[in-house]
Amino acid sequence: MEDWKFSYENWVPEEQALRETLCTLGNGYFATRGAAEESSADGINYPGTYLAGGYNRLKSDIAGRTIENEDLVNWPNWLPLTFRHPKEKWFGLSEVTVVYFKQEVDLKTGVLTRQLRFRDKSNRETSLTSRRFVSMDQPHLAAMLWELTPENWSGPIEIRSALDGNICNLGVARYRQLSNCHLNITETGEAENHNFIYLVAETNQSRVRMAMAARTRISGSLPTDCSEYVYKKRKGFIAQHAIVNCEKQQSIRVEKVVAVYTSRDLAISEPALEAKNSVERAAGFSELLEEHSRVWGLLWKRCDVIVSSTERTQQVLRLHIFHLLQTVSVHSAGMDVGLPARGWHGEAYRGHIFWDELFIFSFLNFRIPELTRDLLMYRYRRLPEARLAAREAGYRGAMFPWQSGSNGREESQIIHMNPKSGRWIPDNTFRQRHINAAVAYNVWQYYQTTNNVTFLSWYGAEIVFEIALFWSSLTTWSEEKQRFEIKGVVGPDEYHTQYPGTDSTGLNNNAYTNLMAVWVLQFALKLPDLIHYERIEELYAKLHISEPEVQRWRDICKLMFIPFLDPVGPVISQFEGYEKLQELDWNKYRKTEDDMLRLDRILESEGDDVNRYKASKQADVLMLFYLFSTEKLIELFSMLGYRFTPECIAENIAYYEPRTSHGSTLSTIVHAWVLARSDRKRSWGDFQTALLSDVEDIQGGTTPEGIHLGAMAGSVDLVQRCFTGLVIYNDELLLNPVLPDKIYYMELRLKYREHWFSLRITQEKLVLAADKEWTDEIAINIRGTVTRFKAGEVHEFPLKQS
C-alpha cells in the first residue's frame, strides 16, 4: 500500500460499515460516510451525512422511564446515484457478480475512488469508476463523478440522481430502541430551468434547517439534453431521471454537484436560497476538484508528519491526520462547534464532546492554533450553562459536563444498554468531574504554545477562574486526615463508579482528580503574573473572588490529600479504598474472551460487578505521567508534602499496567507514552495498538460507529511530542529526542509562539532549522544545552551519546 493511499482491494460486505467510517470525507463543516452512491441503509451499507454541531434532542420511553438524548443527526443523503436497464431493478452490488473491486481514499487530495467491474444476471459486464470529494475549498460543496462503461453490451439505461430525506439515526445498534427520527422534510422540488433538484429538512426539536441542492449532468457517447430529464418525487425523496443510450465500450460520465446550507450558517439569507444559488453557480467536477486538492496540499504542508518506519506506520499516521483535519478545519472555525470524540463520522456517543480534546489539541496547537482557540471558545460560550450546573449541584464557579453537545447541558445518558446482557443499567460516568481540569489544562497548553495573552486575558482566565472556584467548592476539609479531599467523583477509569456493595455513586479521592484540581488552582494563582492586573481585578469582581477564597486555593495547594497504596508510597492509589478491592482473575478472562476490553459488560452479564476488582478500563493514575513532566510532578508532590522521586513513576506503571484492560482506545496512547523512555519495546507495542485502533477496529465493532479521534490525534502527538521529548516548561522549549528502534527517520514542522521550525531526526542526530521569517531569537533547550536560534539558522545535534 502506498503511504498516501488508503485502499481496499476486494468487496467484503461484512466490512462495509467499518470501511465507510474510514473512508468518510469531510471538511469540518459537514462529513459523509464512505457509503456507495447506489446504496441505502440496509444492514450492510449505512450512508450518513453529519453536520458539524448538527444536534437534535428526542425523548424515549425505555426501561420504564422517559429519557431524553441529544443526537448527532444523520441528515438527508446527497449521494444517491444509480442506474438500471429497462424494467429491471436498480443497480446494487448484491444484485451482480463483482469481477473487480478497488476502493481508495487518496489522503493527499481527499478523494474517494471506487473502481468496479461487475456482471449482471444477463451476463452484461459493466465497469464503473466513481470519484467524489467534500470540498475543502468551498465548505458548502461536494461533487462526484461516475464513469460507466458497458463492456459487452449496448442499449438504453435509466440513470437516477436523487436526494433522500427518508433518513433516521440507525447507525448504532444499541441505540435502536430509542427514538431516532429527527427530521421533517419540509420541501422538495426541481429548478424551473431544470438545472437542479432540492430538498429542505428541519430537525423536529432544535429546528435546524438544512437545504441541499443537486445538479446532475450527463455526458459521453450519447449526451442527453437536460430537457429529457424527468423529475420524480415521493415522500421525502426527490430524483432526476434520464434515459441514456449506451454504446458498447463507450463511457458515459455522470457528474453530480451538491450544495449544502443550514440555518446555522453565517452570512446567508436563507438556506434553500443559498443552496440553489450555490449549485447553479458552481464550477464543474474537474475545476472544483483542482481547487479542493490545492487546499489539501496547503494543509499537508503545515500538518504532515514524515516517519520512516514500517510502511503501515506512516500510512496510518497520515490517515489519522486526515480524519482530524476533516473534523475540524477553518470551515468549522467560527461555527461554535466542539471536537467530538468520534468525529463526524458516525453516531457513536451521539457526536458528543468529552475530555478527548486533551489528547488532540497539542497537534493543532503546534500547527493551526487558531483552531484550538476556536474550540476553546466553544467551552467559553458554554460557561453560563456550566455555572448553572455548578449552582444546581451546590457548588460555585462552573462545572462543565462530562458529555457536551449543543448548549453545554450535561448530555451523558443516565441509563445505557449492555449489549452482552441486553439489560439497561444506570450510567454514572457523568461524575467524571476531571473534565473540568482537562478544559483548564487545554487553556494552559494553548497559551504555552502560542503565548496568546489576549486570549488568556479575555477568555482563558475566566474559564480557569470559574473552574478553580468549582474545584475549591467541591473540596472539603477532613478533620481526620487534616487534609483537603474530593468525594463522590469518577476518575478516567470508567469501570469504577461506586464502592462495591453501596448505593451511593462516586468514589473518594481519585488521585488523578485531586492532583489535577491542585494543578488548576495553581494555574489560577499564577494568572495575576500573566495578565494585566486591571483584568484580574475585573474578573475577581465579576466572579466574586475574594482574598479568603484565594487563600483557600493556596491552602488546598499545600494540603490536598493524595491516596497511596502504602501510606509511605510509592504507588499512588487510584482512589481511596482501592486497596480493598479484589484482584481479578485476568487469566480466566484472557482465556475465555477474545476481547476482554469491555470487562464491565462481561462481568455485568455474569451477574458480577467490575467495581469489585482492581481492574481499570484505561489509564487513570498513569494519566499524571502522561500530562506532566517528571520535574512538574516532583514540584506538585513536594508542594503537597509528599515524597515523589522519578523512580516512583516506574513503580506505578509496573503496578497498574497488568491491571488495565485498555477498554478505551485512549489508554494505549497513555501507556505508550509513559513507557517510551523506560521500556521502548512495550511502548512500541502500545503505540502500534493505538495506531490500529480504528484501521483494524480493535474493539470489534466500535469503529463502524465512528472514528476514535483521541487515539488518532494522540498517536500523532506521540510522534510529535513524546518521541521528540518536546516539553514547554517554565517558558522554555525543551527537546530530548529518543526514537523508538523501529523509526529510522522522522521529519516534522512545528509552530512555537509564531515561529515555525522544522525537525529532522534520526537515531544519530537531530537537525533543527529555524524558518527564515523568524523575527526574534528563540532559545531552545536540547538535552540540557540551550542554543539560541535566529531566522534561517540550522543546527545539528548528535543524539547517540546520552
Rg (CA), the chain: 28
494 contributes a contact to ligand BGC by CB under 6 A: yes
349 or 575, CB closer to ligand BGC? 349
Cα distances (angstroms) measured from residue 24 to each of 31, 32, 48, 138? 7, 6, 9, 17
- Paired sense of beta strands 49-62 and 125-134, if any: unpaired
Q: Residue 415 CB, nearest distance to ligand BGC (Å)?
A: 16
Closer to ligand BGC by CB, 536 or 670: give it. Answer: 670
Q: How far is the CB of 608 from ligand BGC (least distance, A)?
A: 20
Q: Which is nearer to ligand BGC, 598 or 749 (CB)?
A: 598
Contact range with ligand BGC by CB under 6 A, out of 158-166, 347-355, 498-506, 604-612: 347-355
Neighbours of 712 (CB within 10 A): 31
Site string for ligand BGC, 600-629 (x = CB under 6 A): -----------------xx-----------
Residue closer to ligand BGC by CB (options 79, 341) is 341
Distances (CA, A) of 697 to 101, 450, 635, 691, 703: 22, 35, 40, 10, 5
Catalytic residue among 37, 70, 357, 494: 494
Q: CB 779 → ligand BGC: shortest distance, Å?
A: 37
- Tell me the residue length of the chain: 802
Q: Which stretch binds ligand BGC (CB under 6 A): 27-35, 349-357, 530-538, 568-576?
A: 349-357
Could you tell me how many residues of this chain bind ligand BGC (CB under 6 A)?
Answer: 12
Q: Which stretch binds ligand BGC (CB under 6 A): 231-239, 351-359, 373-381, 448-456?
A: 351-359
**DSSP letter string over 251-315?**
-EEEEEEEEEEETT-SS-S-HHHHHHHHHHH---HHHHHHHHHHHHHHHHHHH-EEEES-HHHHH
| Cβ(74)–Cβ(59) below 8 Å | no
Q: Which position among 54, 76, 460, 710 is part of the footprint of ligand BGC (CB under 6 A)?
A: 710
Regarding 244 and contact with ligand BGC (CB under 6 A), the answer is no
- Secondary structure (DSSP) of 648-705: HHHHHHHHHGGGB---STHHHHHHHHHHTTT-HHHHHHHHHHHHHHHHTTTTSSSGGG
349 counts as binding ligand BGC under rule CB under 6 A? yes
Q: How many CB atoms lie within 10 A of CB 151?
A: 14
Paired sense of beta strands 97-106 and 111-119, if any = antiparallel
User: Does the annotation mark 494 as catalytic?
Assistant: yes
Q: How far apart are CA 31 and CA 101, in angstroms?
A: 24
Cβ neighbors of 356 (< 8 A, separation 6 or more) are: 339, 341, 666, 709, 710
Provide the 3-class DSSP secondary structure of residue 587: helix
Per-residue binding letters, 84-123, with ligand BGC (x by CB under 6 A): ----------------------------------------
Minimum distance, C-beta of residue 144 to ligand BGC, in the bound complex (Å): 31
354 binds ligand BGC (CB under 6 A): yes
Report d(CA 231, CA 196) in Å as an integer. Answer: 10
Choice between 274 and 620, CB closer to ligand BGC: 620
CB atoms near residue 514 (< 10 Å): 30
- Cβ contacts of 692 within 8 Å, gap of 6 or more: 316, 698
- Per CB under 6 A, does 324 bind ligand BGC? no
Q: Assess contact for 199 and 124: CB atoms under 8 A.
A: no
Q: Which stretch binds ligand BGC (CB under 6 A): 172-180, 353-361, 417-425, 788-796?
A: 353-361
Q: Is 444 annotated as a binding residue?
A: no
Q: For the stretch 130-141, what's the b/e string if a residue is b when 16 or more beta carbons lie within 10 angstroms of its beta carbon? A: bbbbbbbbbbbb
How do strand 65-74 and strand 49-62 relate by DSSP bridges?
antiparallel
Residue 3 marked in a binding site: no
Strand-pair partners of 227:
none
492 binds ligand BGC (CB under 6 A): yes
Least CB distance to ligand BGC at residue 692 (A): 17
Write down the least CB distance from residue 607 to ligand BGC, Å.
Answer: 23
506 vs 737, beta carbon nearer ligand BGC:
506
In angstroms, give the least distance from the CB of 432 to ligand BGC.
Answer: 8
Nearest alpha carbon to residue 727 among 675, 687, 673, 789:
673
In the chain, the amino acid numbered 673 is W
- Least distance to ligand BGC from the beta carbon of 354, Å? 4
Count the neighbouring beta carbons within 10 Å of the beta carbon of residue 221. Answer: 17
- Decide whether 274 or 494 has the Cβ nearer to ligand BGC: 494
Choose, by CB under 6 A, the member of 146, 237, 355, 363 that binds ligand BGC. 355
Of 775, 772, 774, 770, residue with least CA distance to 787: 770
- Would the annotation count 617 as a binding residue? yes
Work out whether 666 is an interface residue with ligand BGC (CB under 6 A): yes
Is 341 a binding residue for ligand BGC by CB under 6 A? The answer is yes
Nearer to ligand BGC, 118 or 402 (CB): 402
- Could you say which of 356, 374, 549, 576 contacts ligand BGC (CB under 6 A)? 356
Spell out the SS3 assignment of 443-470.
HHHHHHHHCCHHHHHHHHHHHHHHHHHH
By CB under 6 A, tell whether 664 contacts ligand BGC.
yes
Interacting span for ligand BGC (CB under 6 A) from 114-122, 141-149, 245-253, 350-358? 350-358
Choose between 78 and 402: whose C-beta lies nearer to ligand BGC: 402
16 is known to lie in a ligand binding site: no
CB of 160 to ligand BGC, least distance (A): 39
Burial label, 589 (beta-carbon count in 10 A; 0-12, 13-18, 19+): middle
Q: Which residues are annotated as a binding site for substrate?
A: 355-356, 617-618
Active site residue ranges: 494
Contacting residues toward ligand BGC, per CB under 6 A: 341, 349, 354-356, 492, 494, 617-618, 664, 666, 710
